[in-house]
Structure 1
Amino acid sequence: MRLLIRFWRHNIILAMLGLGLLSSCSSVEVDEYQGTNPSLVLESFFDGKLKAAGIVQDFSGKVVRKFNVTMEASWQGTQGVINEWFVYDDGETQTRIWTINALGDGRYTGTAGDIIGTAVGQASGSALRWQYEMLLAVDGEEYHVDFDDWMFLVNDNTIINHSDIIKLGIKVAKVTLVIQK
């Protein structure tokens, strides 16, 4: 079954390329959320223990994975560490440790073991947009993908996180995550 899924994923990417490299870049800018409330400040929200639940959808919108995340976050001045422990519906587990730097004016950078280079983020009002490259493990193989990652602070205790996963300029999947304090 996994071989069939892998074959399907590769052929879908090729078919989409054949259709003319559809653009998946967001046309919304984070500044459009300036003045919206509550204001998202990573140092305030990501502090202490958090939990999250999410789904992964393929390019057609079909849910292909569900997962839960336990997080612990702390800050020393302008540097934060967010430990994430993922448990997927198929039993797979994963750990990611983010090191975040607050640069001021709502700007952030971040690194983690599977992130290529440095993630760059900008917050404005209740929104934050992260953009980064990742080595994404799927069925024992690693794929170099881009993430266009948006967080929206709904209330003091809830963030809704939406990420587009992009390969060769084409959105191949999306992740939706609800994070709660």
Structure 2
Amino acid sequence: MRLLRRLLLAVSLGSTLLLSGCGSVDIDDYQGTQPTLVLSRFFDGQLTAHGMVQDYQGKVTRRFVVTMTGQWRDGVGTLDEAFVYDDGETQRRIWTLTELDAGQYQGTAADILGVATGEARGSALQWRYQMLLPVDGDTYEVEFDDWMYLIDERTMINKSDINKFGVTVATVTLVIQKQP
């Protein structure tokens, strides 16, 4: 995480970093793919995720496990996430998710700036938001570009790019599984 902190600081001071290219994937590319991802169906009940954080060079800097509980009522869901990192640090995030029309979603949480927005097509969802990210005692404003892919009714893969000033400074990968 020290490397991530130094990188975030360097980017925030205006250093030029040529670390990432422009992506060309669009959520509409997943129209019609199966199984169809519906957040209120997948994020309902008990879930467990295993994940890792990679720095801009691809080196794994942290690993973690998340236990989640999701509940939905009338198109509004609560997703309670409890993180435990490999160094013993814990975090908790409680999302309030709202299902809008035509695969559109919004979400809020205490460390999310403004409103997260998401759009689902087929088996994929793109989720974008700004977040206050704690790193080694400091807090940074970063942007997340989340892509969630439903593999089957019980398994999802989530890949998130963490960006600062348009530059990818880290990537988070999770495998999320619904519990029986």
The TM-score with structure 2 as length reference comes to 0.92
**Structure 2 CA distance, aligned partners of 1:15 and 1:169?**
14
Aligned-partner residue type, residue 9 of structure 1: L
Give CA-to-partner distance per residue, 1:35-92, whole Å, 9 cap, x none.
0000000010000000000000000000000000000000011100000000000000
**Structure 1 CA distance, aligned partners of 2:45 and 2:164?**
34
Aligned-partner residue type, residue 31 of structure 2: Q
Residue 139 of structure 1 aligns with which residue?
136
Which consecutive residues of structure 2, in runs of 5 or more, have no partner in the other structure? none
State whether residues 119 and 130 of structure 1, in contact with CA within 8 Å, keep that contact through their aligned partners in structure 2: yes
Aligned counterpart in structure 2 of residue 165 of structure 1, from 150, 162, 165: 162
**Structure 1 CA distance, aligned partners of 2:10 and 2:49?**
30
Identity of aligned residues (%): 56
Residue 39 (structure 2) pairs with residue 18 (structure 1): no
Which consecutive residues of structure 1, in runs of 5 or more, have no partner in the other structure? none
State whether residues 128 and 144 of structure 2, in contact with CA within 8 Å, keep that contact through their aligned partners in structure 1: yes
- The structure-2 alpha-carbon separation of the partners of 1:53 and 1:16, relative to structure 1 and needing over 3 Å to count, comes to farther
Residue 7 of structure 2 aligns with which residue?
9
Aligned length: 178
The TM-score with structure 1 as length reference comes to 0.92
Residue 57 of structure 1 aligns with which residue?
54
Q: Shift of residue 104 of structure 1?
A: 1.8
State whether residues 8 and 169 of structure 2, in contact with CA within 8 Å, keep that contact through their aligned partners in structure 1: no
Q: Shift of residue 18 of structure 1?
A: 2.5
Structure 1 stretches of 4+ moved >6 Å: none
Residue 118 (structure 2) pairs with residue 92 (structure 1): no
State whether residues 22 and 169 of structure 1, in contact with CA within 8 Å, keep that contact through their aligned partners in structure 2: no
